[in-house]
Structure 1
Amino acid sequence: MGIFNGLMGNASEVNLESIRKEYDNILAPTEKIEKAYKLVRDMFVFTDKRLILVDKQGVTGKKTEYHSIPYRSITHFSIETSGHFDLDAELKIWISGTALPIEKQFNSSLNVYELQKVLAEYCLR
């Protein structure tokens, strides 16, 4: 079901131990990963300092773009929980200087409230 959810545009939570070494080279010395979510090949990683959007490009996915968004740049965010007929949860994040939000969808097994707590903890400092 994981690959099906990815193809349908839903992200699912990733085990942090499995990605720490892979992303260690882009983290600041005192930065730590709090949560990570994968969408087919792409990921978004929440650290204690920023949100990192990982975009694997091309057929092989060897070329990778890392887009860092400091939490202080996030002006507001919203979550939408899944329902009886709509099984997807949704996250929207607005960045200062942009009109449209970054939108991500999650499968129903994700606890979207945990994700909201991570954003609230770091954005509301």
Structure 2
Amino acid sequence: MIDFNNSSFVKLAPADAEATAQELAGLLIEGERVAAAFRGMRDYVAFTDKRLIVVNVQGITGKKKDFTSLPYNKIQSFSVETAGTFDLDAELDLWFSGLGKVRLEFTSSVDIRWISQFIGYYTL
């Protein structure tokens, strides 16, 4: 579960952006596109060209889902930490106006520098 009050959860790995876009089709506004997607065990996040969508899959069957929309224009600052020799995960910290800090942890296979550039493009 992605818990914004507890920043530690399953590491996110790259996922198919097109398949994720199809899952989110009912939520995306006209012209909005999914640029990248990342999945944990059941939960996932999608980086669109307008916002970050965090999906928390709930229940035994997974039919119930919580969709959290985090617009880039509400990001006050952000930080990335690359994977190291002993610390094999990469991290993205985002500070949102009215929400506070959101941390996403990624597997070492994720290009965290690309994510940093992507977030920078939409916030700076």
* CA-to-aligned-CA distance 1:53-74 (integer Å, 9 cap, x gap): 1111111110011111111111
Question: Which runs of at least 4 in structure 1 moved beyond 6 Å after TM superposition?
Answer: none
Q: Work out the CA distance in 2 between the residues paired with 1:123 and 1:35.
A: 17
Output the amino acid matched with 1:15: D
What is the aligned partner in structure 1 of residue 111 from structure 2? 111
Normalized per residue, which structure has more helix? 1
Aligned identity (percent) is: 39
Q: Does 1:72 align with 2:73?
A: yes
What is the aligned partner in structure 2 of residue 122 from structure 1? 122
Q: What is the CA-CA distance between 1:121 and the residue it aligns to? A: 0.9
Q: Work out the CA distance in 2 between the residues paired with 1:9 and 1:52.
A: 17
Q: What is the number of residues matched between the two proteins?
A: 116
What is the aligned partner in structure 1 of residue 45 from structure 2? 44
- The structure-2 alpha-carbon separation of the partners of 1:92 and 1:18, relative to structure 1 and needing over 3 Å to count, comes to same
Q: Work out the CA distance in 1 between the residues paired with 2:122 and 2:57.
A: 26
Using structure 2 for the length normalisation, give the TM-score.
0.88
* CA-to-aligned-CA distance 1:6-35 (integer Å, 9 cap, x gap): xx7210011112222211111001111111
Using structure 1 for the length normalisation, give the TM-score.
0.87
Any unmatched runs of 5+ in structure 1? 1-7
Output the amino acid matched with 2:41: V
Tell me if the contact between 2:18 and 2:34 (Cα under 8 Å) persists in the aligned partners.
no
